[in-house]
A = this chain, B = another copy of it.
Amino acid sequence: MSGIKEPAVCGNCAECKYDCCFSNRHCGDSHIFGLLTHEELHALMDNKRQIHFRPGETILKQNTPLTHLVCIKGGLAKVVSEDPKGKNLILQIIKSNSIFTGGGSIVDDFRHFTVAAITDVDCCFIDTSRLYNTLTKNSAFAIELLKHSNNQHLKMLSTLINLSNKYMPGRVADTLLYLKNNIFETNPFDFILSKQELADMSGMTKESFIRSLKEFEDSGLIHHSRNTIEILKESELTEISKNG
């Protein structure tokens, strides 16, 4: 893990070509940084640091103070809720160009999740103390962040319903469809996730996940080998997801 202090640059500056929040001015679908003026962007990003993480490294640790926002510039990371007894629940996979506020921002200012790199990850750390100031000055930015927050809220609701109302086959189907349609966006897809991680996404033990996957394989719904899964009958998987 290495921290490189970046110069204050933005899409409006000649020298600025290489950074997600600056040159592209968007994180995920929200284009949230595009709402800032040149000056506001500089004020917020001035002392931003871009950091590289290797697979497996912890980017943010649950229960530590929330001092920075994180923008994922490249790579995949997992958002994990760690519980004292060691049961991990993977709530979300974060892709390139997404902004991660961590839930507790502006509320209790500590982190409620751990974020860990799955692949190599490049990301920016943005000071939350500066965020407050930006929110005050630019209400369009504040509204966009509110939208982002509400979006996360709805995603978590969907996770909650999936995990609490469905039996294992439905939950496994959800995980597979989520990976194909939202994360990897190819079929078949190579995944870097272990069976334990897939189980942690589905709220079950790895043994149960494996058995459920095998049933799908035997029914011809999917085909999987070491690190690849191909979804053969998506509509049937969707049915299984719906029926719980």
Q: How far is the CB of A125 from chain B (nearest CB, A)?
A: 19
A187 within 8 A of B: no
- Chain B positions within 8 Å of A154 at CB level: 103-104, 107-108, 112
- Chain B positions within 8 Å of A242 at CB level: 84
Question: Can you tell how many copies of this chain the complex includes?
Answer: 2
A12 within 8 A of B: no
Alpha-carbon separation in the docked complex, A80 to B203 (Å): 22
Alpha-carbon separation in the docked complex, A136 to B154 (Å): 23
Structural contact, B89 and A143, CB atoms closer than 8 A: no
Alpha-carbon separation in the docked complex, A135 to B143 (Å): 7
Residue of B nearest to A242 (CB): B84
Task: Name the contact of A142 in the complex, choosing from B103, B142, B151 (C-beta under 8 A).
Answer: B142
A51 within 8 A of B: no
Q: How far is the CB of A65 from chain B (nearest CB, A)?
A: 15
Task: Name the contact of A106 in the complex, choosing from B84, B112, B143 (C-beta under 8 A).
Answer: B143
Q: Mark out the residues of chain A between 14 and 62 whose CB falls within 8 Å of any chain B CB in the assembled complex.
A: none
Q: Mark out the residues of chain A between 102 and 133 whose CB falls within 8 Å of any chain B CB in the assembled complex.
A: 103-108, 112, 132
Residue of B nearest to A137 (CB): B139
Q: How far is the CB of A103 from chain B (nearest CB, A)?
A: 5
Structural contact, A103 and B157, CB atoms closer than 8 A: yes
Please list 18 pairs of residues, one from A and one from B, whose beta carbons are closer than 8 Å in the complex, sorted by A's number.
A83-B165, A89-B165, A103-B154, A103-B157, A104-B154, A112-B154, A135-B142, A136-B140, A142-B143, A146-B149, A149-B153, A152-B153, A156-B156, A160-B160, A163-B163, A163-B164, A164-B164, A164-B203
